[in-house]
Amino acid sequence: MHVPILKQSDYLIASIQSVLSDVDLLQLRDDLSERVGQYRSRGVIIDVTVLDVIDSFATRTLRAIAHMLRLRGAETVIVGIQPEVAFMMVQLGLMLEGIGTALDLEEGLAYLDRKTKRNLHGAK
């Protein structure tokens, strides 16, 4: 399932719409890396609200995405990790070290505004 990527000023928003296979996740990684260059984006939000499973492969891939995008000059924030998924990740010891996380899209935008020292989204 293809993940749509929206551009909003300096940021990209990848809004996952349904469960993703491993190949879909790798495709998202490649798409984001390309778009960050194309749009000269400073920040990326990955919305995982609909994911009911974030297993070891997904964790590894999300980490890889965030680190790759940082090398490309953009900050990544993962938003919408569900409480059950957070519980499971803690049980499994799956960590997203060095990656921003936020409750939802709004908090994710605020996080990126702080990280990129900008104020383009009407935050006070």
Partner 1 sequence: MAPNETRVPLTSEADIVTARQKGRSLAVELGFQGADLTLIATAISEVSRNIVEYAQRGEIVLRPANHGNRRGLSIVARDDGPGIPDVAQAMQYGYSSRRGLGVGLPGAKLLMDDFDIVSKVGVGTTITMKKWVRSHAG
Q: Which residues form the interface with partner 1 (CB under 8 A)?
A: 19-23, 52-57, 59-60, 82-85, 87-88, 91-94
Q: Least distance in Å: CB of 92 to partner 1?
A: 5
Residues 100/77, Cβ–Cβ less than 8 Å: yes
In angstroms, what is the minimal distance from the CB of 102 to partner 1? 20
Neighbours of 17 (CB within 10 A): 12
Q: Which is nearer to partner 1, 37 or 98 (CB)?
A: 98
Instruction: Take residue 37 and report the two structure tokens written for it.
Output: 């260059």
- Report, in Å, the least distance between residue 52 CB and partner 1: 6
Residue closer to partner 1 by CB (options 38, 56) is 56
- Tell me whether residue 30 or residue 84 sits nearer to partner 1 (CB atom): 84
Q: How far apart are the first and last CA of the chain?
A: 37
Residue type, 56: S
Instruction: Report whether 80 contacts 42 (CB < 8 A).
Output: no
